[in-house]
Structures are given as C-alpha cells and as structure tokens.
C-alpha cells in the first residue's frame, strides 16, 4: 500500500489509519477516554458550582448589604460595624428630596431608605439583635428576600404595617427564644441624640430569608416607626439604590456621588469584599482545572509512548512503504487527538446532563454548616447553574490541552529508522 499523501487521499487516509488504531487495544483506549472525560466533567461541574455560588453571593449582597449602589455618610462608613444612627446620609438634606433626585438618574429603578441599629433585648435569653427598618411593602415589590424560593420570605402571619408598633422576626430566632405571634419584645436602643429608647413591638409575623445572619439576628420593623424612634427627622442612615441593569451600577454610583458630594461614600455591589473574593476564586479554579487536565493528559502521553514502542516494526514498515516522517507523526498525533475528542465529548455529555438535572434540585447546606459561616453571605440553599458556555469551554480545553501534551511523544515516532525498526 502506498501511504503517500498525494496518491492515497492525504490527511483523510492518515486520519482513517489513526482512527482504526484506536480499536487495537480497547482497554487502553477506555483508560485514556475516562481520564480526559473525568477532567472535562470536573471542569464543567466546578464551573456550574462556582457560578451558582457566585450568583448566590452576589444576590445576597445586592438585596441585603449594599443594593446595586449604596450611599452612606463618611462618618458612618468609618464606624459601620457599630451601625451608628447619628450620621444620616446627605446630612442637611431630607431623605425624600434625596430619593427623588436619585430616582431621576437614568437607569435607576428604585431607591429605598434603610436603617440598621443594635438593640438590647429585655426579658429574653437572646440579649442582642439588630433592628432593620424597611419600607416593607415597597421593598417587596422589587426584591425577593428569600432568594431560594423567589418570595418575600414570609412563613407565618404578616409583615408589620407602616407606622405601626409591630415587627417580624426570623423563624430561627423564634425557635431559639420561643417567641410566638402576638408576643411583645421589650428592647432598648440608642437614638441619634444618644438617648436610650425603650420599645416593645408586637410580633405579627415570622420570616425565613434562608440567610442565617438575618434569620437569627434581625427584627424587621417599619422604616418610619424606627426613624421616629431614633430621632432622625426626615433623614436616613443608608440609601439602597437598585438599577434596571445591575451591570450599569458603576455609572450610576458615579452620578450618585456627584449628587451627594463630599462627606458621603457611594459604593456599588461589585466593590463588596465577598464578591471580590469569589472573582479571585475563579482564577484559582482555572489553575486547579489545568492541573487536572494535564494529569489526565499524561495518561494519553503514556499511551502514545507505549503505542510507539509496541509498533516499532509497524513504523518501520510504514516508512519503507513510502510514508514520510511527518506523516508518521501525524498518524500518532491524530490517534491521540481522537482519544481526547472522544474523552471530551463523554465528559461534556455527563457533565451537561448532570448539571442540567441538578439545576432543578437545589442543595440545602444550611443543616450542614449551621451557624459556622453565619457572617458569610451565602444562602443555605445552593443552585447549580447549567451553562452552555461551560460545556464549550470544557470541550475546547480538553481537546487542546490533551492534544498539545501528546505532540512531543508523537514526534518520537519520526526518529525511528525503518531499517533498525524492521531488524
């Protein structure tokens, strides 16, 4: 047989030979395919896992911690771990006026005032909690406070009405302390004038936000009631700004900063510490994946080396029948390429099917980590995200890395002398 490119079909002939060679040792082929498939599957599953976790953290940060854009006074920012209420944002300007001006900025969907203040509970086994003042009805029109269920998080009763002496607490707090709907919570807080304020709001509802920090520690109260109690006048401690498109938050933050001027700090959600940590995690993941892929590729490398060693006489025969060194290298390279393609296709099939199914079955981690990671902005329920992009990337990387890793051992076949091989 004449293997030469011009007389026997060129690449087509060489690829046919390489493809047929795959079936000559089924066990070795299966090992190679499984190694690459596992590496590609790992890539797809980890990308889906991290994408779900990143989306979870970003959503919690946006809804609970900063909105898409958050505005506070510089003094508050310096002492924010204490939730000081004596430093209203845009001091000297009314909250209603600021809200109206910010809403006029292009791309702004909603602006909500919020207040967070420490409270000391009286006659309770739980000694401290955080009062969270919200314009509840308006907020619920924009935000899902239970991200896992895409709901307002209410489990029993109702949320407190505007201006009322009422509150809602998390089911976790209720179970811990033994509170029931209709009970009152005697508590003390400190106003903006540094005076002690005693208050006994009635519990009218239980919520579950699936965010342990809030389910255990937060008492939701009407914004206007807490505003009066803390003697803030028409001011507010924080402004939470939500954009029509959260990718435009940087531009909106710049406009809000111009509007508020000096003495105020404006941040957008991507500046959050935990969001930045997750973005850095992406780079770490890439390194881990490359290690897995290279390890899997070594099995193909080893296979190609063994194939060349076992087929020394065959290589000599191919050379004596007219195949050039380049064509011999291409046969072995194509054989490795086919193994990596089959392995990658297997990996994306298994990874794609699994992540496509798991995206409909959220995983409950709340019972696993309990209160260990309470300060970490992560919902107790995690959704795996199916991603076509992850499938494509997994396939391309699997084929490219495995093929490149086998190029060098494939070149070894070019240095086999036909006469020595046949001898």
**Residue-range domain boundaries for the chain:** 5-59+275-422, 85-236
Q: Rounded to 10 degrees, what is the CA torsion of 401, 402, 404, 406?
A: 160
Helix %, strand %, coil % of the chain (to 5): 55, 15, 25
User: Would you say residue 2 has pLDDT above 50?
Assistant: no
User: Would you say residue 332 has pLDDT above 70?
Assistant: yes
User: Would you say residue 292 has pLDDT above 80?
Assistant: no
- β-strands 218-222, 69-73 pairing: unpaired
Q: Which uninterrupted H or E stretch holds 243?
A: strand 238-243
Residue 368: its pLDDT value, please? 52
CA neighbor of 311 nearest in space, from 32, 31, 17, 1: 17
Q: Mean pLDDT for the chain? A: 84
User: Would you say residue 178 has pLDDT above 80?
Assistant: yes
Count CB-CB contacts under 10 A for residue 28: 17
Confidence of residue 349 (pLDDT cuts 50, 70, 90): very high
Beta bridge partners of 241: 69, 111
Residue 6: its pLDDT value, please? 43
DSSP 50-90: HHHHHHHHHHHIIIIII-SEEEEEHHHHHTGGG--SSS-TT
Q: What single-letter DSSP state applies at residue 181?
A: T
pLDDT: which is higher, 178 or 419: 178
What's the token pair of residue 24?
Answer: 């000559």
Is the Cα dihedral 388, 380, 82, 97 positive or negative? Answer: positive
Q: Give per-residue pLDDT as tens, 52-110.
A: 888 888 888 899 989 999 999 999 999 999 999 999 998 778 888 899 999 999 999 99
Give the predicted TM-score (pTM) of the model: 0.76
Maximum distance among all alpha carbons in the chain? 101
CA neighbor of 332 nearest in space, from 271, 263, 268, 411: 411
Confidence of residue 367 (pLDDT cuts 50, 70, 90): low
Beta bridge partners of 268: 69
| Listed ranges 227-236, 286-295, 310-319; the one with the highest mean pLDDT | 227-236
Q: Which of 63-67, 162-166, 285-289, 309-313 has the lowest mean pLDDT?
A: 309-313
Q: Give per-residue pLDDT as tens, 4-57.
A: 444 444 667 778 877 787 777 788 788 778 888 888 888 888 888 888 888 888
Q: What does the alpha-carbon distance between residue 378 and residue 205 come to, in Å, rounded to a whole number?
A: 24
Residue 39: its pLDDT value, please? 82
Kindly tell me the burial class for residue 260, based on how many C-beta atoms sit within 10 Å of its own C-beta (0-12, 13-18, 19 or more): buried
Confidence of residue 416 (pLDDT cuts 50, 70, 90): low
Rounded average pLDDT over 120-144 = 90
Residue 300: its pLDDT value, please? 67
Alpha helices (H) in 232-324, listed in sequence order:
249-260, 273-310, 312-320
């Amino acid at each position: 047989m004449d293997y030469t490119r011009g007389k026997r079909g060129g690449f087509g002939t060489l690829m046919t030979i390489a493809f047929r060679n795959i079936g000559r040792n089924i066990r070795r082929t299966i090992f190679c395919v499984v190694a690459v498939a596992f590496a590609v599957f790992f890539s797809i599953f980890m990308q889906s896992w991290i994408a779900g976790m990143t989306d979870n953290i970003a959503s919690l940060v946006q809804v609970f911690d900063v909105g898409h854009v958050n505005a506070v006074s510089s003094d508050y920012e310096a002492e924010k771990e204490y939730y000081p209420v004596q430093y209203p944002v845009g001091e000297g300007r009314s909250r209603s006026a600021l809200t109206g001006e910010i809403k006029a900025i292009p791309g702004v969907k909603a602006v909500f005032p919020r207040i967070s203040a420490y409270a000391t509970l009286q006659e309770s086994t739980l000694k401290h909690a955080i009062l969270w003042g919200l314009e509840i009805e308006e907020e619920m029109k924009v935000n899902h406070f239970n991200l896992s269920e895409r709901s307002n998080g209410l489990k029993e009763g109702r949320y407190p009405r505007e201006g009322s002496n009422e509150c809602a607490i998390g089911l976790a707090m209720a179970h811990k302390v033994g509170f029931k709907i209709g009970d009152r919570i005697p508590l003390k807080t400190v106003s903006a004038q540094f005076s002690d304020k005693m208050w006994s709001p009635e519990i009218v509802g239980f919520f579950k936000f699936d965010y342990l920090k809030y389910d255990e520690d937060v008492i939701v109260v009407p914004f206007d009631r807490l505003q009066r109690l803390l003697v803030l006048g028409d001011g507010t401690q924080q402004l939470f700004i939500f954009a029509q498109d959260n990718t435009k938050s940087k531009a909106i933050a710049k406009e809000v900063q111009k509007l508020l001027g000096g003495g105020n700090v404006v941040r957008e959600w991507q500046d959050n510490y935990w969001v930045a940590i997750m973005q850095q995690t992406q780079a770490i993941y890439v390194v881990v994946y490359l290690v897995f892929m290279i390890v899997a590729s070594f099995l193909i490398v080893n296979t190609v080396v063994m194939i060349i060693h076992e087929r020394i006489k065959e290589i000599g025969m191919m050379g004596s029948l007219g195949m050039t060194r380049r064509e011999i290298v291409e046969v072995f390279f194509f054989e490795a390429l086919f193994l990596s393609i089959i392995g990658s296709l297997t990996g994306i099939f298994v990874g794609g099917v699994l992540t496509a199914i798991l995206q409909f079955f959220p995983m409950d981690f709340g019972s696993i980590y309990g209160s260990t990671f309470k300060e970490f902005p992560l919902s107790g329920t995690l959704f795996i995200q199916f991603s076509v992009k992850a499938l494509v990337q997994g396939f391309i990387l699997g084929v490219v890395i495995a093929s490149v890793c086998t190029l060098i051992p494939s070149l070894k076949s070019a240095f086999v002398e036909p006469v020595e091989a046949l001898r």
